[in-house]
Amino acid sequence: MDYEYIDRALGRTGAPPQSLETGFSPAERDELLAEALCFPERALPTGELADWAFVLMDLGKQPAVMAAVSVIETVLNETPPERADVEFANQVLAELHIWLESPQTVDDLRRLGDLWWSLTRNPPHAAHTPLGDAAFMAWYLAGYDPEGWDNPPGGPEQLRDWLAEAADNVGAVVDVFSLVQQAVGPERHWLLINSVRSAVGCWRDMDSTMR
């Protein structure tokens, strides 16, 4: 992939950061985002956040999860800590940080699968908010549905194909961005964009050190 247009948006080319250019018109972008939404009744993200959702679907699971965690943390910073959905969101984010810092083996994926039962069986009613739903969708982005797929296979020959089906949920980043835009007012959307830029920049730094 040519990362130059991403690095230009992040200000990594020696020039100031600029708006992300995807090469697609807003209508073309939105058509593809609508196909990726897990819950079609949700509004699409708008503006540059929509452009980042579009790009992250191409970049893959790791940067998409990093960006999802970052925007949810931004919403948490704007949310009264006593609200009932805050504890739920923090619980999910704690698990996602463990996953991001892990080797991301089958065992790490199973840990996320185990979290499914508490997320789907015992979520507090007050967690059914844009923030709470964004946290749930961020978990789905990183993990998989163990009710539908059971545990990952142990054999490496089967694992690649299994992951390509069961855990190929990168489109959920569109739902996450839709929900976080609902969770904060339009006048604060720039905070979300900054947090995505920061997360993608961190991922680019990690990616370059692994080459």
pLDDT in tens, 102-160: 998 888 888 998 888 888 777 777 788 999 999 999 999 999 988 889 888 877 788 88
Q: Are 176 and 134 in contact (CB under 8 A)?
A: yes
- Give this prediction's pTM: 0.93
Per-residue pLDDT at 211 exceeds 60: no
* Residue 129, SS3 per DSSP: coil
Q: Which of 158-162, 164-168, 169-173 has the highest mean pLDDT?
A: 169-173
What's the confidence (pLDDT) of residue 209? 58
pLDDT in tens, 67-76: 999 999 999 9
Say what the alpha-carbon torsion angle 111, 113, 117, 122 is, to the nearest 10 degrees: 70
Residue 151 host element (H or E): none
Per-residue pLDDT at 26 exceeds 90: yes
